[in-house]
Amino acid sequence: MNSSLRLGIDLGGTKIEIVALLDGQECLRRRVPTPKGDYDGTLLAICSLVEVAERELGQNGSVGVGIPGTRSPDHGRIKNSNSVCLIGEDLQGDLQKRLARPVRLANDADCFALSEASDGAGRGASSVFGVILGTGVGGGLVINGRLVGGPNGIAGEWGHNPLPWRGPDDGEIRRCYCGLDDCIETFVSGTGWAARAGLGLSAAELAGSNSPPARQALERYCDQLARALASVINIVDPEVIVLGGGMSNTPLLYERVPALLVRHVFSDIVNTRLVKALHGDSSGVRGAAWLWD
């Protein structure tokens, strides 16, 4: 195996993507549809992508996989996945058998954070909290270039804490898919925000609208996001917070949220930088490749 070649796989709900990094530079990218609900088909698709990439590049590489879930530290099988065909499966072990080499797995939000900390918007920072604001809300924590996993494999899952400093303007109580009420995900995910705004618009339409109700909803979103991130800063105090996912493309976040943080962070000045992801939608697959750094 040539250690300078790193293969990253992003296992998504609709597509599986591979990227090859040679000495840190992208030299190949491919994607195929995800065999929905088909675990064996998913294994075959991943292995085929690896085999084709290595044949084209003329060498073997390390393999890292970003997954929509977590590999349990207790039994090694997948948990907390919205791709339910993965739950309870030994994905790492099965891939290692088929590819005849070690394979590393990490949550897709962790891969995003690792990518942005390695050679993205958080490069050079000693601590980076990576945030995905998309259909759901995910996060990952990188300290001194190393991904933090934790004994439960859930470091960075800030989206399943309750929204802090909740008030009447935050609206009705809503049940999260995890079974608890008023998780941060139900407020600041794109789908959660659109549902709570109640204007019959998608998150993208809300963010792009200049109507007074939409602007008011976006201001409330900025305030809720600031409160949610302030609770992270009060515990972790990261040097940089990098935003990714669909909502990260909203320019107002970078104008309003830093100022709103001051009220809730336990400090007279907030030095944490809030930045947009450098690699955008590519960060997840790139981070999977960097699992072997």
Q: How does pLDDT run across 221-238, given as a tens digit for each residue?
A: 999 999 999 999 999 999
**Domain harbouring 231, CATH code:** 3.30.420.40
The domain tally of the chain equals 2
For residues 27 and 47, membership in a common domain is answered with yes
As a whole number, mean pLDDT of residues 160-189 equals: 95
Please indicate, yes or no, if residue 85 is contained in any of the structural domains: yes
For residues 230 and 133, membership in a common domain is answered with yes
Q: What is the pLDDT of residue 2?
A: 44
Please indicate, yes or no, if residue 117 is contained in any of the structural domains: no
CA distance 215 to 222: 11
The 10s digit of each residue's pLDDT in 54-88 is 999 999 999 999 998 899 999 999 998 878 899 99
Pairing of strands 62-67, 137-143: unpaired
Please indicate, yes or no, if residue 239 is contained in any of the structural domains: yes
For residues 202 and 106, membership in a common domain is answered with no
Among the listed residues 40, 254, 19, the one whose alpha carbon sits nearest the alpha carbon of residue 5: 19
Domain hosting residue 203, numbered range: 123-277
CA distance 262 to 28: 43
Percent of the chain at pLDDT > 90 equals: 90
C-beta atoms surrounding 98 within 10 Å: 15
For residues 127 and 265, membership in a common domain is answered with yes
For residues 24 and 99, membership in a common domain is answered with yes
For residues 14 and 151, membership in a common domain is answered with no
The 10s digit of each residue's pLDDT in 254-280 is 999 999 999 999 999 999 999 999 999
Helix (H) or strand (E) holding 104: strand 103-107
Q: Could you tell me the two tokens for 153?
A: 């494999």
For residues 130 and 50, membership in a common domain is answered with no
215-226 burial: b if 16+ Cβ within 10 Å, else e: eebbebbbbbbb
CA distance 197 to 155: 30
pLDDT, averaged across the chain: 95
